């Protein structure tokens, strides 16, 4: 079994590949790589957040919402995830 640091390094590499696919509008391919990264680093809220954005880009708001909620469960003060989730559920705060 690999150590956690090795997994995190591999996870970061997979995230970079996912980002490449995302910027080329290959959202499903990006999600494949985010899923692989998540298996190596399941406590990383940024992966869930990035997956949420990819799902939003596919207009899959149910899965996007679940990803943002998962990110916030791991990091309750993750402001970007809060904003995205609020946008999806239509309860964005004003002021």
Residue spans of the domains in the chain: they are 4-94
- Residue-wise pLDDT for 12-57, tens only, equals 999 999 999 999 999 999 999 999 999 999 999 999 999 999 999 9
Could you please state the CATH topology (level 3) that the domain comprising 4-94 is classified under: 1.25.40
5-9 contacts, C-beta under 8 A, 24 or more apart: 7/40, 7/41, 8/40, 8/41
**2 band by pLDDT with thresholds 50, 70 and 90:** low
């Amino acid at each position: 079994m690999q150590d956690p640091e090795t997994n995190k390094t591999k996870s970061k590499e997979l995230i970079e590949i996912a980002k490449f696919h995302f910027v080329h509008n290959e959202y499903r391919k990006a999600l494949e790589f985010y899923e692989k990264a998540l298996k190596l680093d399941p406590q990383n809220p940024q992966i869930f957040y990035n997956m949420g954005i990819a799902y939003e880009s596919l207009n899959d708001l149910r899965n996007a919402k679940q990803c943002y909620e998962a990110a916030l469960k791991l990091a309750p003060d993750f402001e970007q995830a809060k904003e995205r989730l609020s946008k999806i559920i239509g309860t964005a705060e004003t002021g």
